[in-house]
Chain A
Amino acid sequence: MNKRKKPPIPISGVVYGEIIYWCTCVSALVVLYGTIKSFLEVDQTIPVEYLLNAVFEGRSVEAVWTGSALQKSPDALTYLAILNSGEAITVAGIAFGVLSVGPAIFFSAAFMWRSHNEFFAVTALLSGAFAVIAPFVFFLL
């Protein structure tokens, strides 16, 4: 090989990186939309000014939410129920970015397998399965 020639880049890595990169960019736009909506919505389920004041006053998580219209700490299902609110859209945007890890790993594992790196394809599949199952395990606990 020419000593100055750039080495080839593994396609499985590029696939993994591209999926996560673009999903993260989309999630950023969703989060931006959620932020604007939080400040602009008139009939707020979760008033943004109240949230910021409560958080920077040092109130505990429970106290922050107890003082809001929700009156209890929201879980994932609560966010789904109020998905039209700015705060829920913002959290959904963050969650979308986080969830992009799972499919990125699975697609990358397929290319890893095709390039005869079976061991790493299997470790990738196991990691992907763990990343996808983890949220549901926590919800059950």
Chain B
Amino acid sequence: MMISKRLPELQLLILCTIGCYIFLELFVASAALDGLFGFTGVDIIFISFLLSFFVAIISVIAGVGGGVIFTPLMLAFTSVDTLIIRSTGLVVAMFSGLVASGPFMRKGLADIKLVFLGALPILVGGFVGSMAAVSLSQHLGEAGDSIVRIALGVLLAAIALIFIVGGASTEYPEHGQRSKLATKLKLRHMYWEDTLQKPVKYNVHNVKVAVILLFAVGFTGGFFGLGGGWAVVPVLNLVMSVPLKVSAATSGVLLAMGNSAAIWPYINAGALIGVVAAPWMLGQIIGGIVGAHVLSGIKAAFVRKLLIVMLFLTSLKLLSRGIEGLFNISIPFI
């Protein structure tokens, strides 16, 4: 409640959205959709909005982008066409990051230099990745796709394990040697840590390796249509030694920017169904603003735990999809 009082635009958006859905529920005669437990079209839109709101809060805090939660859930529990899920997934992944960019930058949580350092590799990587996906699916078919998914699932599980083994040191990473390139580029920064009530300084390391990795993240994000925020946080935090909270905020901003190019082929192919994507987008915007304000006030350890759980869940989903595709079997409950 405190957040909405400080942000009149958030109040307006919540009022308009809730008002709109109440109006539709009361005054529009919407028929029940086939096979959806008697829910009408308006009901589905309102439920989608609520789900998206909670997904946005969790994804902004963890800096992973809602697509990582949305896409596996939709693929697992609905029969909606994968192309429509991927396009809506990109909207979900993008909009919480887009709207959270404002609060993150205002509070100095997202590092603008890191954003512009990583933007080009992620944008180009995403572009090349989506092109490669189209080309590979024509040549290798689903088997090749499954093998890549399994490899990615194993990689994500490994990153989650590194987060667990790394323990508290990953929240405020310390690095002995100073990177020459980072010093030359003036990649050192300081942010105000609300939970400690003091500024936290940090230096950036391994710039060249990180740029290559961010290109790879963009590539895989574009290739799978999941967005890439889930892997940007580990790259910033574990490779570049950026504090976890700054990594999560910077990742959200980078993710939104990176996906802005990838959405266009979906729009041009008619795969972005406005009425389906709209409640998810609105939930991401309102939830994104709430999440961005919650982030500065919560303990970094909480973000880390949330991230570990999300990495494991995503890894599980990727592995199951890979195995399902490769051996033509169905794994229940995953």
Q: Which residues of B contact A126 (CB under 8 A)?
A: 120
Q: Which residues of A contact B41 (CB under 8 A)?
A: 39, 48-49, 52-53
Q: Which residues of A contact B78 (CB under 8 A)?
A: 56, 58
Residues of A51-106 whose CB lies within 8 A of B: 51-53, 55-61, 64-65, 73-76, 78-79, 86-91, 93-95, 97-101, 104-105
Q: With A28-B13, A32-B16, A94-B91 as given contacts, are A3 and B198 in contact (CB-CB < 8 Å)?
A: yes
Interface: B185 (CB within 8 A):
yes
Interface string of A96-139 (1 = CB under 8 A from B): 01111100110011001000010110011011001100110011
Alpha-carbon separation in the docked complex, A73 to B91 (Å) = 19
Minimum Cβ distance to chain B for residue A55 (Å): 6
Secondary structure type dominating chain A contacts: helix
Q: Are B113 and A32 in contact (CB under 8 A)?
A: no
Interface: B242 (CB within 8 A):
no
Interface string of B87-117 (1 = CB under 8 A from A): 0000100110011011111111011110111
Number of residue pairs A-B, CB distance < 8 angstroms? 248
- Select from chain B the residue with minimum beta-carbon distance to A73: B270
Q: Which of B27-35, B152-160, B233-241, B321-329 contacts A (4 or more CB under 8 A)?
A: B27-35
Q: Which residues of A contact B30 (CB under 8 A)?
A: 39, 49
Q: How large is the interface on B (under 10, 10 to 19, 20 to 34, 35 or more residues)?
A: 35 or more
Interface string of B6-39 (1 = CB under 8 A from A): 0001000100110010011000101101111000
Alpha-carbon separation in the docked complex, A33 to B42 (Å) = 15
Interface: B232 (CB within 8 A):
no
Residues of B127-165 whose CB lies within 8 A of A: 127
Q: Which residues of B contact A61 (CB under 8 A)?
A: 81, 83-84, 269-271
Q: Are B113 and A75 in contact (CB under 8 A)?
A: no
* Most interface-central of A16, A29, A79, A119 (chain B CB within 10 A): A16
* Most interface-central of A4, A25, A141 (chain B CB within 10 A): A25
Interface: B311 (CB within 8 A):
no
Q: With A24-B95, A49-B41, A88-B274 as given contacts, are A124 and B267 in contact (CB-CB < 8 Å)?
A: no
Minimum Cβ distance to chain A for residue B284 (Å): 9
Q: How large is the interface on A (under 10, 10 to 19, 20 to 34, 35 or more residues)?
A: 35 or more
Interface: B302 (CB within 8 A):
no
Minimum Cβ distance to chain A for residue B186 (Å): 7
Alpha-carbon separation in the docked complex, A137 to B159 (Å) = 35
Interface string of A7-28 (1 = CB under 8 A from B): 1011011101110111011001
Alpha-carbon separation in the docked complex, A91 to B41 (Å) = 18
Interface: B300 (CB within 8 A):
no
Q: Are A6 and B199 in contact (CB under 8 A)?
A: yes
Alpha-carbon separation in the docked complex, A90 to B257 (Å) = 21
The 7 lowest CB-CB distance pairs between A and B, nearest first, are A21-B102, A17-B105, A90-B274, A73-B270, A58-B79, A13-B112, A134-B261
